[in-house]
Amino acid sequence: MTVKTSIQGFPGIGEQREWKRTLESFWRNEINNNEFEKKMQTIRLSRLNKLKQSGLDYIPVGDFSCYDHMLDMAVMFNMIPKRFASAGEAGSLDTYFAMARGTKESGACEMTKWFNTNYHYIVPEIEEAWIPKVTYNKPLAEFKEAEEKTGIKGKPVLVGPYTLLKVSKGYPEEQFQNYLDILVTLYAKVIGELTEAGAEIIQMDEPALVYSLDDKEMDIVEKVYQDIHGLVPGAGLLLQTYFESITDLKRLAHFPVKGIGIDLVHDQGNNAVQLKEFKLPEDKILALGVIDGRNVWKTDLETADALTAYLRSELSAKQEIWLQPSCSLLHVPVSLKHETKLSSALQNGLAFAEEKLQELQLLKYQEKTTSWKAHQEKLHDFRRRYQNFTQVEVRKAKRNHSFEERFPLQQKKWDLPLLPTTTIGSFPQTLDMRRARTAFRRGEMDQGQYDRLVKKKIDRWIKLQEDIGLDVLVHGEFERNDMVEFFGEKLDGFAVTENGWVQSYGSRCVKPPVIYSDVKFNRPMTVKETAYAGAQTSRPVKGMLTGPVTILNWSFERRDISREQTAFQIAEALQPELKALEDNNIEMIQVDEPALREGLPLKKEDHAYYLDWAVNAFRAVSEQVQPTTQVHTHMCYSEFNDIMSAISAMDADVISIETSRSHGEIIEVFEENVYDKGIGLGVYDIHSPRIPPAEEMRDIILQSLRVLPPKLFWINPDCGLKTRTEEETIAALANMQSAAEYCREVVAAEKK
């Protein structure tokens, strides 16, 4: 039996986020197209050489992106919406970034989460006028570049046709098969050129195959790969799945492909069980995802080795086995070597992307070498020191008063106008503030100096919000680095890294904190700045917290206890914070849960259990507040039709939901589902530098009011504003306020 190593993908941001700096320099016109492409090539080749030195047998190429891998696929297949026709040539950087970020004339393409991860992808749009063609064979170009510049004969990576179409939008559902047939011909061209150029294995990512697929859907997928095989019979395709188990692995294993890649970490044990139930064809490569590609914990080599040995005992001696991570390493930081402040004992339990490459090599040779033993000793030392756990009682949480009882009390208390305006929480994080935060962390600025700067920022933005005319204000979150990392720094049981950056969307990178022990409240976290802001204005100021499910989903969580237990621990740790805010006269509090929908399991049969504990954890945070305290929440992305009952069950007084990039499609959800609590549908896209005109926002508001009652409707952007410039923010909010005032007049006139 032949054992080899491979990975599905590797972080592209660089050890010091040089990729991010290159992107943002280009957007600021500090470098031209040629300089940009040269810098990106340098980063790309440096990354390939690192992988070559690691000893991997199969190195991915084509997984590096200048913005997003799904945007790459859309542009390659000419899925360029006609609203970007004036941006430039089909394959130009101008068109590429116009789709990602929008233009003055056109809104950006929709962006949403990649399955159940915190990575955002650009949603491909298929319009009726689409002219199918291959504009540029990107995987081929990078395959040739790797061979010419580094001597690597790489493994090209493509998102497969079934997944590409499943996550695209714009086409009638009844046309799915028609568009899939068209895509097959385009893929055949790309794959044929790769095969002709010498690519022996081509990785076809099909994560959509881990959904709960019935026989009819499996028939569709099988036909795709039969058709590709018929068009390019010599292609060596490896059908790669991840994030969950395959519903019918036996059937998939007999598709006309060279190999199958499966996740043995996040499959709940189902893939391994299925492998024991049938005889895998001995000419099939089996790529086993035995190392966690989504989390930062060291692999227990003994456990992983025992699992592979268990499976290999059932396989043919002629079988070729690959050892891999469970998915692309895109979802973890690059390297532990830049972490100088984490204790050595804690680092003993961690492995970032580079360290996971080393683990693969240890598993490949299976020899209990000094390196193997040292790895295991460090892991066991970490577990002895840190992985204690206090069982919490997960009780059913609820507020003491219903929304129907709370609503009139809150209306009387706040006396807000019809269609009140507010923002989601954060304001621009300018360069001076980011530098001050760095200086404060390094001890180059004392607490008093730092607090004075934060107060100065709060003063300015309270005044700006008042001048714009907003009804409910926020303090701006100038003291915060990231909405999850900030709380990770202040709650017990979390560790925060120095350089543990992970790409979230575009050039936006985050540092997910690491949950390594019991989560507990330590001291008030948000009161000082919020109470100060409240004292500067007569208008309501919202307190801003991140909710327990989002903190869990956007952290590197523990794997030794249930997610429900961790979420409830976090919820109980946040309860004292709401009490402290109330005690300081902050009685409008937003508990953000942008990741609640994202965490929905990929298997339908697991949805109910997840939603039950996730909603319960959210309710636990606010169950003890007064009925006059108005609890807000915020959720990202518009695919809510399947969880509307859960959203209502959260029992928030006001929920704000993103709608701008989805072009108001969520409004159709409310035509079919009654929502009886306060709601704000985000009226403009904060992920784009584009400033939408007031007329555009008016249309969204008036369209929304066709299905939602005005007395419950709020007006807000679709997310926080920290990534925008001050000029963009002020102009867009002024347009939003103008739109709100116009719509108030329309509603008032209709009542007469």
Catalytic sites, residue numbers? 687
CA angle 23, 26, 28 (to 5 degrees): 110
- Which residue type sits at 124? P
CA pair distance 162, 231, nearest whole angstrom: 17
658 annotated as belonging to a binding site for a ligand: yes
What does the block give as tokens for 422? 């507010």
714, 654 Cβ separation under 8 angstroms: yes
509 annotated as belonging to a binding site for a ligand: yes
Helix, coil or strand: residue 514: strand
If we measure between CA atoms, which residue out of 596, 598, 638, 641 comes closest to residue 617? 596
656, 632 Cβ separation under 8 angstroms: yes
CA pair distance 38, 42, nearest whole angstrom: 6
CA pair distance 529, 541, nearest whole angstrom: 11
Axis-axis angle for helices 726-751, 694-704 (nearest 10):
40
CA pair distance 83, 99, nearest whole angstrom: 9
Q: Using DSSP bridges, classify how beta strands 514-520 and 678-681 pair: parallel, antiparallel or unpaired.
A: unpaired
Distance of CA 33 to CAs 21, 98, 149, 301, Å? 15, 15, 21, 46
321, 4 Cβ separation under 8 angstroms: yes
19 annotated as belonging to a binding site for a ligand: yes
18 annotated as belonging to a binding site for a ligand: yes
372 annotated as belonging to a binding site for a ligand: no
Question: What phi and psi, each to the nearest 5 degrees, are found at residue 350?
Answer: -110, 150
633, 655 Cβ separation under 8 angstroms: yes
User: Residues in the chain, how many?
Assistant: 752
If we measure between CA atoms, which residue out of 60, 17, 6 comes closest to residue 502? 17
5, 58 Cβ separation under 8 angstroms: yes
Handedness of CA 100, 600, 667, 590 (dihedral sign): negative
Enumerate the H helices of 516-632 as residue ranges. 527-534, 548-553, 563-583, 607-622
327 annotated as belonging to a binding site for a ligand: no
If 0-12 CB within 10 Å is exposed, 13-18 middle and 19+ buried, where does residue 297 land? buried
Q: Of all residues in the chain, what percent are helix, strand and coil, respectively (each to 5)?
A: 45, 15, 40
68 annotated as belonging to a binding site for a ligand: no
Cβ contacts of 306 within 8 Å, gap of 6 or more: none
CA 360 to chain centre: 26
If we measure between CA atoms, which residue out of 245, 239, 243, 253 comes closest to residue 272? 245
743 annotated as belonging to a binding site for a ligand: no
166 annotated as belonging to a binding site for a ligand: no
425 annotated as belonging to a binding site for a ligand: yes
CA 218 to chain centre: 27
Question: What phi and psi, each to the nearest 5 degrees, are found at residue 173?
Answer: -55, -35
Cβ contacts of 539 within 8 Å, gap of 6 or more: 465, 466, 470, 471, 472, 473
327, 290 Cβ separation under 8 angstroms: no
48, 59 Cβ separation under 8 angstroms: yes
If we measure between CA atoms, which residue out of 721, 736, 738 comes closest to residue 686? 721
Residue 689 neighbours by CB distance under 10 Å: 18
- Which residue type sits at 622? S
592 annotated as belonging to a binding site for a ligand: yes
CA pair distance 528, 580, nearest whole angstrom: 10
Distance of CA 456 to CAs 265, 466, 479, 540, Å? 48, 16, 12, 19
271, 246 Cβ separation under 8 angstroms: yes
Handedness of CA 601, 604, 607, 609 (dihedral sign): negative
CA pair distance 239, 255, nearest whole angstrom: 9
320 annotated as belonging to a binding site for a ligand: no
636 annotated as belonging to a binding site for a ligand: yes
Binding residues: 17-20, 113, 118, 424-426, 477, 508-509, 554, 592, 598, 634, 636, 658, 719
Binding residues for Zn(2+): 634, 636, 658, 719
Binding residues for L-methionine: 424-426, 477, 592
Binding residues for 5-methyltetrahydropteroyltri-L-glutamate: 17-20, 113, 118, 508-509, 554, 598
Binding residues for L-homocysteine: 424-426, 477, 592
